[in-house]
Amino acid sequence: MKNQLKAFFSRGVQSQNNNKNFVWRGVLRLFIFFNQMMKKFFERLLWLFKLLARPIKFFLLGVVVLFSLLGIAVVGCHWWVEFQTLDRLYSDINAIEAKKVALLLGTVKRLRHGGINRYFRYRIDAAVQLYKAGKVKHIIASGDNHTKYYNEPLDMKKALMAQGVPKHAITLDYAGFRTLDSIVRCQKIFSQDDIIIVSQAFHNKRALFISDFYGIKAIGFNAKDVPLRDDLKTPLREYFARFKAVLDLYILRTPPKILGKKINISI
């Protein structure tokens, strides 16, 4: 009986050892299989990378070349506008010649935080200075009025009148959505092709460039500028605005969004 019990327990231990060996062999086979699969995966990935390496290389090279050409075009358009208009800008009220009409280019009156936009205030000051010095008899305030809650021309009119410009000397252009629209509408709608444009110098140059394209005899009176330390975004954006102006005029032939019936100005 004792020998039978000993043999029984001996077989149980042997059976447990065999089970453990079976589990470890299974784990080892699974590890080897997984290792082989990963090896094949990375071999295929390397093959795919080698296959796509040349097209990707040429694609990246093409992107670099494209952006380089775009950069050259943007800078080239900037200096084209700069040199073409430089000799028709005035900052001295005594140096600028008198004309009948000034075109005041609009911008938002207040910034997001509620403060006054200095670009707006300085343009109003420049237009008032022209009028009070007798350099112009009439002011066309051209700006965006795409909704009833946003009205640049009306804001300009109120600001001009607050500084002493009479109501009869102001005409509002509610469809000056862009600089191009303001310039073209001044000629096509208000029949004015000999004007003084009022804005900051960087903006006046683009406006004069557009005026040249449409045969408008224009000069610019520069409003006081905002220092770069306070606003670097606007002068940088002007590079792309000039590039867009060249595209609009010479390639896309972009018309104003709205023209409409002619409006007579009593001067």
Residue 201 is predicted with a pLDDT of: 97
User: What 3-state class would DSSP assign to 51?
Assistant: helix
Domain 88-251 CATH superfamily: HUPs (3.40.50.620)
Q: Where are the domains of the chain?
A: 88-251
Of 193, 177, 207, 2, nearest in space to 84 by CA:
207
**CA–CA gap between residue 121 and residue 89 (Å, rounded):** 19
End-to-end CA distance of the chain: 134
Instruction: Return the pLDDT at 3.
Output: 52
Helix ranges (H only) for 86-178 are 118-132, 152-162
Confidence at residue 131, expressed as pLDDT on a 0 to 100 scale: 98
- Would you write out the chain's pLDDT as a tens digit for each of its 267 residues? 545 444 444 554 455 555 556 556 766 777 777 778 878 887 787 777 777 767 766 777 778 878 888 899 999 999 999 999 989 999 999 999 999 999 999 999 999 888 999 999 999 999 999 999 999 999 999 999 988 889 999 999 999 999 999 999 999 999 999 999 999 999 999 999 999 999 999 999 999 999 999 999 999 999 999 998 999 899 899 999 999 999 999 999 999 999 999 999 988
Phi and psi dihedrals of 171, rounded to 5? -120, 135
For 255, phi then psi, to 5°, come to -85, 165
Rounded to two decimals, the pTM is 0.79
Closest CA to 97 of 223, 266, 218, 193: 218
CA distances from 54 to 45, 57, 72, 129, 236 (A): 15, 5, 27, 64, 36
